[in-house]
Structure 1
């Protein structure tokens, strides 16, 4: 009898231990090589809320598409994942994401420009994670001070050509990288309705500003950017390598290359994009990455708590230091360490002179048609730019 009592006690102890370790678990997808930026927040949150936070690294650009696929096939989804601002409306339409009620009170902690793209019909569908905009990365061993005009960069390109090298390069055959040239002359993607929605019948990609901008992009690309940099698969890697090796004095790129450039040892600095002949500064797309919550998550409340917890200034600073991506947290941006950081300052200044990337699903057609348009304009020096853009806009509308 005594043996049975002891055995029962042992079994009870095992059962209790099993219960103790059976914590609620939430899965959060982070970007490739960026999970470390969330680790400290996750550890502290686990202790405070007695749960488990599983961080999984996935390419942020592909996360929405992967979640879509998993949802369609009835497979297990992450509780939270990275949503890029131009995919918000599509994510809502396909019932992939849940609205985040806590943002009704938390939104004041973020800069308004980072909240707006994720807000539809007064409901927020992501907690802002990072802001991004194209900037100029320049080699300080070649360029002592940032050049303020495109004409100045063209003069540099001509001088460098004599040495078989390059000045400013970028993947300008891609609308994402070249749109700022068009917008600075008065072009736009879609018109805006009185209620703030996009008017996809009003497309400004073939107006006079678009023609001027496209001609500038085509002429500069044809004359001063190597063809290898335009390769659809390897072009961006070629651009990075040329900058790191000193073949190119400067590049147009985004904050996602910061870590790569730092590790390479190249002596670089960051500046805002230059002014064009009309005195207007190149105004690229303003993008925001946010943490969205899967509509099918069974732990929505806990996930909300974690995402808000990880957005506290202390953890936002850790995220910036480890990921080189700037969280749009007001208190963080006012921190002296950020103000004195020339990279963060340049990013913030450029973001202030950038344009929201439209979140309408019609953007898929815009990317495809404009890629063909730029390719035609660059290949043929005598091309009728207006006719090329008219054709692209017609395709988008059809």
Structure 2
């Protein structure tokens, strides 16, 4: 019965609709039953070579195999290069594009799409409904900007609850239970639970679960003039965050840029019962010899689930390629069910492909199940360019809250004032 319930959660994950947190999906114009086999494909010259930029340490054998099968089918050579996806790919594309050295295909996190499209670095793609139907609707939504499709999704992720089974028998259902555990367990260098709540990416789970939000929904998508980061719910969430720091349940050393490394070090040394982190952390913990359990985040004191941020990684066709048709054919291949499964088995990043939900490699994976459950409550990070104005002010506010240098309301009011000023000035 339990296995069936978990399987149902996985089905919900890949099929979930995020109308409450993202614009309704608008279908790309004029799809065909033949995917991208349009008139463009008949007229575009076949290239000798296509170039891909993939995230660092993420090619891991699967990409070479995918390239071989594409080359055998189409007679086009494919090369790839690894660059850090978080910033290096975007920054290098800004330089190499105008210089004539840009790749044909890049991978990016979905929250960068609005900015890079505005800068003219990506181009719209056209694929058939037979291709789009491979993926969960939320993952396709994340690849769209202003109703236009700019990529195909390859992986989804959201923070989850990770615990050391030697220190914690099972994951608590509520934050109240976790708070009690932490009060009893925390002593010296040992901590019951740690989270990077001075980092807005992680703290949104609390602020959002208490009723805060980044941008409200307007008639044409996200409304940059409706900012909910200092409403009553957000202030209540910030006060809850401050409580964990002020009571000594979080060490001072996990505030700021080095906080992540400090938290990882304590957990991997077996000094922490549980942490809030993403699936990217699983392997490092296991390599450190920690027997980890993974679950969805416990519910907040108000009874609501944590609204973690969800990220969707995608493949995109650059504006600088001379071969948009064949580049699109290649990203269709890279996101096919067969290749997506091989990539998951190699790098453990969860694909959004609906047909893979019952594959044993995913269905029997505890981490994948936890991400599936938590993703039901997750909010895709806004991908409009104005989101870039949010991170800095919120980081400053959360750090002053964590160190008790400011009251939550005052800190969030100041942050929202700065965000509004930055948006008016820069956009």
**Shared fold per TM-score greater than 0.5:** yes
Q: How many angstroms does 1:299 deviate by? A: 2.4
Match of residue 93, structure 2, among 55, 67, 71: 67
Q: Deviations over 1:115-148 (max 9, x none)?
A: 0021234421011010010111111111111111
Does the 8 Å contact 2:316/2:331 carry over to 1? no
Give the equivalent residue in structure 2 for 1:200: 224
Q: How many residues align?
A: 373
More helix, by proportion: 1
Matched, 1:101 2:126: yes
Q: Which stretch of the first structure deviates more once superposed, 236-245 or 155-164?
A: 155-164
* Aligned residues of 2:103 and 2:320 also touching (Cα < 8 A): no
TM-score (ref. length: structure 1): 0.90
Task: Give the TM-score normalised by the residue count of structure 2.
Answer: 0.84
In the TM superposition, what are the counterparts of 1:162-173 in structure 2 within 5 Å?
Answer: 162=187, 164-173=189-198
Taking only aligned residues, the RMSD between alpha carbons, in angstroms, comes to: 1.7
Deviation at 1:69, TM superposition (A): 2.8
- Residue 363 (structure 2) pairs with residue 361 (structure 1): no
The offset of 1:390, in angstroms, is 1.1
Out of 410, 417, 425, which is 1:387 matched to? 410
The yes-or-no answer on 1:224 pairing with 2:245 is no
Distance 1:138 1:366 in 2: 30
* Equivalent residue, structure 1, for 2:305: 281
Unaligned runs of 5+ in 1: 1-21
Q: Aligned in 2, Cα 1:167/1:183: closer, same or farther, shift over 3 Å?
A: same
CA distance in 2, matches of 1:121, 1:172: 31
Which of 355, 374, 378 is matched with 1:331 structurally?
355
SS at match of 1:353: coil
Deviates more, 1:143-152 or 1:162-171: 162-171
Q: Counterpart of 2:36? A: none
Rg: which structure is higher? 1
Q: Which runs of 4+ in 1 moved over 6 A?
A: none
CA distance 1:162–1:241, shift in 2 (3 Å): closer
Q: Which residue of 1 aligns with 2:183?
A: 158
Q: Which residue of 2 aligns with 1:187?
A: 212
Name the residue aligned to 1:372. 396
Gaps of 5+ in 2: 1-45, 422-427
Give the Cα–Cα distance (whole angstroms) in 2 for the partners of residues 264 and 66 of structure 1. 34
Q: In 2 relative to 1, CA 362–121 (structure 1 residues): closer, same or farther, beyond 3 Å? A: closer
Tell me, in whole angstroms, the C-alpha distance in 2 between the residues paired with 1:69 and 1:153: 48
Partner Cα distance (1:344, 1:24) in 2: 38
